[in-house]
Amino acid sequence: MNRAKISLLAAAVAAVTGCASKAPQQTVSDQFYGTQEPFAAEAIYFVMTDRFVDGDPQNNYPEQGGDHPTWELRLNGPDGKYANVGYMGGDLKGVLKNGEYIADMGFTAVWLTPVVDNPDQAFTGDEQITYGGKFKDGGKTGYHGYWATNFYRADEHLISEDLSFSDYTQAMKSNYGLKTVFDIVANHGSPSWTMPVDQPGYGELYDAEGNLVADHLNLPPEELDTTQPLQAFYHNFPDLVKLSNLNESNPAVQDYLINSYLHWIEQGADAFRIDTIRHVPHSFWRVMSDRIRAEHPGFYMFGESFQYDANFIAQHTLPKNGGISVLDFPMQKAMVSVFENPESDYAELEPVLFLTHGPYNNPYDLTTFYDNHDMARMNASDTGFIDAHNWLFTARGIPVVYQGSEIGFMRGTEEHQGNRNYLGQENIELAKQHPIRAALKQIAQVRKVTPALQRGLQLNLELSGNTASFYRIVQDGDAAQTALVLLNKGEEAESFSVSQYIQAGTWREQLSGEAQTLEPGQALNAVVTAHGVEVWVREGRVDDPLLADALRSQMAAQ
């Protein structure tokens, strides 16, 4: 359907339904919104802390590990390509130093990989990792933070003598208005068996006072004696590679983990991202979420369930299972398909929105993204990244962007091919002039000040070929605003003429400042540049009865 047909469709609707006065009238109590989740106002910049910026060379510990060093463990590939599985120096000071850089793009929260303590040697068990290798941990370190030895203690590579985690969260808020998303784990600790000789830290867990509370003893899971206190923390069967498999049904394990999560909230964590959520039963997450929210009502959490089946991952979002949102993997898959391929069709994105009759408790609460540290980076052109961001910051969901994507950093590479390579201050300085970042900054700043884009109901007009058009509408106690989003991912400018559900009044385009004042029955006409976006906003309550009725119906079917 082309632009002209939008106007014809509106005329047909009017002819069938009769004049507006015969349509159902909205009431003063009508509320329209996608979500009222406060965290929906945020946009998240995802940082792999050790691979961001080295802000404090004093915490690098390049000599750490002895015979099993942890610093700069390079994996060489063909044609000069490389990855790294050792520490590379990034830390909280490096993130704080660049708080203005992050906030200036329009982000309001930073998701950090886990800051908890990890082992101080490279792992000697499992198969040796090589460039491009998968599902092997031999020779790797805990630079990523997911191999906890103490869930209560910050890793020495990330904090500084004059910057604790609490100091960091306070400074990010007070200096830059940036919230902190804390990454938590429940299903595993560190790699725990197959070492030629048992290594300190691996397979061990310590409490807040530094006492040993669990030890895998370098034993295969099936050889554990779970009647023994130090082995009772673990299941006697494996889960992921050689990682210890925590027994979430053990009350002592539950207390250990949940109390650690509460500890980090007290240190300034504003939300949780939950690693490998699908590897732990819903019963644990219900206990955990009830305890967290009893002390911190409404605390927002989203989990990683690495599956592309919406019906599967949606189970976590149900209140009976803890009411935890999830990363939107079905959307991620569709976004990569659309924005890596110039010949793609915007229509591919419509089915994964699940705006009505979907499996999620609320699709607007999902965190949306196109890549991260666990998968290949999106292999798009600069304009493909620009198009992806234009969609990500206008469609439903809470946008998440992985560090370096603002310059297309290491595009197309997987985890051990460069996906997690060190970004560094030099790249950040170069990014300030990069076209991807410039376009990202524009649309992210628009979302930051536009409630309709943060939590408004999404009413699609047309997603077809290189163009997409839809409304985002919010009308509740805090805002009354309609946004019309027009997207063009093509190489040529596109003309739009929108009359379906268009309301009379003044509409202002948020990037250019251009205004149009429409009379009843008049269409909004616009020309969107190649790889461009326009967001036309009308302030005030919905006064078109047909639009109000459509919104009422969509809310009922959400």
Q: For residue 541, give the CATH number of its domain.
A: 2.60.40.1180
Pair 404, 483 in one domain: no
How far apart CA 507 and CA 3 sit, in angstroms, is 19
User: Is residue 514 domain-shared with residue 428, that is, in the same domain?
Assistant: no
What is the sign of the dihedral through the CA atoms of 476, 103, 366 and 288?
A: negative
With contact defined as beta carbons under 8 Å apart, do 50 and 143 qualify? yes
Q: Are 366 and 329 in contact (CB under 8 A)?
A: no
Q: H or E segment at 85?
A: none
Q: Quick one: 447 and 545 in the same domain? A: no
CB 182 within 8 A of CB 272: yes
- Which residues touch 341 (CB under 8 Å, ≥6 apart)? none
pLDDT at 19: 38
Residues 173 and 315 in one domain: yes
Query: What pLDDT was estimated at residue 1?
Result: 42
Q: What is the pLDDT of residue 135?
A: 92
Q: Which position has the token pair 């305890």?
A: 291
Residue 542 lies in a domain: yes
Query: What global pTM score does this model have?
Result: 0.94
Instruction: Determine the average pLDDT of the residues in 292-298.
Output: 98
Is 376:419 a contact under the CB 8 Å cutoff? yes
445 and 481 belong to one structural domain: no
**Local confidence band at 26 (pLDDT 50, 70, 90 cut-offs):** very low
For residue 231, being part of any structural domain is answered with no
497: pLDDT confidence band, cut at 50, 70 and 90? very high
Structure letter (DSSP) for residue 522: P
* Residue 505 within any structural domain of the chain: yes
d(C-alpha 417, C-alpha 415), whole Å: 6
Say whether both 434 and 360 belong to one domain: yes
Query: Residue 477: its pLDDT value, please?
Result: 87
Length of the chain: 558
Burial tier of 162 (Cβ tally within 10 Å: 0-12, 13-18, 19+): exposed
Residue type for 28, please? Answer: V
Radius of gyration of the chain (CA): 25
224 assigned to some structural domain: no
490 contacts 522 by C-beta, under 8 angstroms: no
Q: Does 67 reside within a domain?
A: yes
Boundary residue ending a domain (451, 481, 501): 451
Counting the structural domains of the chain, the total is 2
CB 124 within 8 A of CB 138: yes
Average pLDDT over residues 444-457: 98
pLDDT category at 478 given cuts 50, 70, 90 is confident
Q: What value does the mean pLDDT take over residues 332-352? A: 98
| Number of neighbours of residue 196 by Cβ within 10 angstroms | 8
In the predicted structure, residue 23 carries a pLDDT above the cut 80: no
Whole-angstrom distance between the N-terminal and C-terminal Cα of the chain? Answer: 25
26 lies in some domain: no
Task: List, for residues 228-279, the tens digit of each pLDDT value.
Answer: 999 999 999 999 999 999 999 999 999 999 999 999 999 999 999 999 999 9
What is the model's pLDDT at position 29?
63
Percentage, residues of the chain above pLDDT 70: 95
Residue 533 lies in a domain: yes
Whether the pLDDT of residue 378 is over 80: the answer is: yes
> Given 398, 428, 451, which residue is the final one in a domain?
451
Indicate if 461 and 438 belong to the same structural domain.
no
Any alpha helices (H) in 325-381, and if so which ranges?
329-340
For the cut 50, the answer to whether the pLDDT of residue 39 exceeds it is: yes
* Angle in degrees, CA 364, 466, 358, rounded to 5: 25
Among 175, 172, 152, CA closest to 45: 172
Same domain, 472 and 403: no
Q: Which of 6-20, 123-137, 280-294, 472-486 has the lowest mean pLDDT?
A: 6-20
Domain around 553: 457-557
Cα 431 from Cα 439, distance rounded (Å): 12
| Mean pLDDT to the nearest integer, 390-402 | 98
pLDDT at 4 over 80: no
Residues 354 and 472 in one domain: no
State the Cα–Cα distance between residues 50 and 434, nearest whole angstrom: 23
Strand pairing class (204-206; 271-274): unpaired
Whether 423 and 469 map to the same domain: the answer is no
Q: What is the mean pLDDT of the chain?
A: 95
Q: What is the CATH number of the domain that holds 152?
A: 3.20.20.80
Q: Based on the domain organization, do 492 and 421 belong to the same domain?
A: no
Q: Which one-letter amino acid corresponds to residue 96?
A: L
One domain for residues 320 and 426: yes
Nearest Cα residue to 154 out of 277, 285, 49, 270: 49
Domain boundary among 451, 473, 500: 451
In a domain, residue 335? The reply is: yes
What is the structure's pLDDT at 389?
98
